[in-house]
A = this chain, B = another copy of it.
Amino acid sequence: MSTALLTDRYELTMLDAALRSGHAERRCMFETFARRLPQGRRYGVFAGGGRLLDAIEQFRFGDEELEWLRQERVVHDDTLEWLANYRFSGSIRAYREGEVYFPGSPVLEVEASFAEGVLLETLILSVLNYDTAIATAAARMVSAAAGRPLAEMGSRRVGERSAVAAARAAYIAGFGATSNLEAGRSWGVPTMGTAAHSFTLLYDSEREAFSAQLDAMGAGTTLLVDTFDVARAIDLAVELAGPELGAVRLDSGDLPVLVHEVRRQLDSLGATGTHITVTNDLDEYAISTLAAAPVDSYGVGTSLVTGSGSPAAGMVYKLVAHTDGDGWVPVGKRSAGKASVAGRKDAVRELSSGRARAEIVHVESDPEASVGRLLQVPLVVDGEIDEQWRGPAGVQAAREHRAMAVAELPRDAFRLSQGDPAIPTVYR
């Protein structure tokens, strides 16, 4: 399925004008970065890189796309011919998925002709802005959960394809599972889930419903116990499943109080190994207030897939340099409040005793002059996609990289309150 029309019209009209003026083949450097982190957060988690590679591969103009563009007169006919042969032949360098980032971090750089680079702007930003917003929110929830497992279950609260991306981003950021089956199939994210209230209501009694679920899924399943009366449901659950019952799920009520009551009741029934999972409108703050409660795992929906208040990461895609025959010429706009830093950039995470100290952005200067970790890796070289970043293997690598990168951050980075970025961005 082509992704070529998942694009703003102006990318094509700019191409059209540049082709006519003879500037379309000028070599250009486009940079993706965020001017700030979402609402006072202390670090961001970069995500979407692997997913973007699939989208770029599918960015081809087939007969249907070209015919529609012709009918709508979006561009001139010679531009349509150019589009028919389009295949990205440039290079892309980016932060690894799962890497943390800060204001001004050059998270993704496209080096290509203006024509090839400008066409990808919308698609690159759509993928990175959403996936990064989710990974950034998810990482805070993972911190707040302090080692307890988290499951993503927000598919129903976001567009049906974004739901898959959200599950993938949350997994990279440290969630352990998702409810979303497509995320399981496409990206290897472990899937979970047992039953909803409608299942209990289908039957003439809660007893019948629990029995049916236990029959199909075994005693290790998770029973949803808040359809009618929690205490009675728990009595019934342990009566039917025995103390081997895997878990009970609470999806309503005053959780910090309720969870203690449920734990006591389960223990008094001998179900000391039965877990308690909670899923009621959680976000990082609600998770944090449950730290002292005997919760075994969390399910997070709405607040995760909507970025917990910041549903888009605010990344932009800017032309920072082009060639004029003699070499690269840095360029940048001076728009009020939106100026960009011109020039090619290399980024280094400055480390001291393994702890991150600064985000060093070298502008047209040698990154080897800084001590630390080089942050950019090649994703595409002259049109050839590096396969290591793709598919489930890429997701797994990103998850591991995120754990490493987050572990380098100073302690202050994990405070939930609003504040400055955990480390400063320094241009050199």
Contact = CB atoms under 8 A, between A and B. Distances in A.
A193 B13 contact: yes
A319 B215 CA distance: 22
Q: How many copies does the complex hold?
A: 2
Contact of A17 (B156, B199, B226): B199
Contacts of A311: 158, 306-307, 311
Contacts of A306: 306, 311-312
A227 to B, nearest CB: 5
A123 interface: yes
A9 B185 CA distance: 12
A215 B21 CA distance: 8
Interface string A120-164: 011101110111000000000000000000000101111111111
A245 to B, nearest CB: 16
Contacts of A318: 197-198
A9 B216 contact: no
A169 B3 CA distance: 20
B14 A196 contact: yes
B130 A158 contact: yes
Interface of A: 1, 3, 5-14, 16-18, 20-21, 23, 26, 28, 30, 55, 65, 68-69, 72, 74, 76, 114, 118, 121-123, 125-127, 129-131, 153, 155-165, 179-182, 184-185, 191-204, 208, 211-213, 215-217, 226-229, 251-254, 302, 305-307, 311-312, 314, 317-319, 322, 324, 331-338
10 tightest CB-CB pairs across the interface, nearest first?
A10-B193, A159-B162, A125-B156, A17-B216, A21-B212, A161-B161, A9-B193, A198-B319, A252-B335, A126-B160
